Amino acid sequence: MTASSFSIIFLFLLSFISAGIISVANGQQKTWCIAKPSSDQATLLQNIDYACSQVDCSVLHKGCPCFSPDNLMNHASIAMNLYYSAKGANQWNCDFRGSGLIVITNPSYENCLYD
């Protein structure tokens, strides 16, 4: 390996390391929005209706990856996160009249990806 090749590889690796350091230094942490477990059924239904009127919730349809488990808490969490992600992942986009909860642990499961 020539000194020139080594330098190029070193700079390439350094750029990846630097990018990682910058990302951590800026505090960029991935977050998701889910429904608070204490939310009542009427609130969960309202959240699904509102979020799905603003974003594509087709992943919730029967036979799609996020349909199962078929319950309001699951469907509301997915719809709320779709809205939250589409609107910029700002805290106020997960409020849903106090029924939203921002989490730092990825709630994805099986083939249902929240990302």
pTM over 0.85: no
- pLDDT score, position 24: 35
Ramachandran quadrant class, 88 (left: phi over 0; alpha: psi -120 to 50; beta: rest): left
Q: Which residues lie across from 19 on neighbouring strands?
A: none
Residues 8 and 44 in one domain: no
Both structure tokens of 4: 């020139």
Domain coverage including residue 96: 32-103
Query: 45 and 88: one domain?
Result: yes
The secondary element (H helix, E strand) that includes residue 84 is helix 72-86
At residue 12, the pLDDT reads: 36
Closest CA to 43 of 79, 89, 86: 79
Predicted local confidence at residue 38, as pLDDT: 97
Dump pLDDT digits (tens) for 27-67.
678 999 999 999 999 999 999 999 999 999 999 999 999 99
Domain count, the chain: 2
Residue 62 falls within a domain, yes or no?
yes
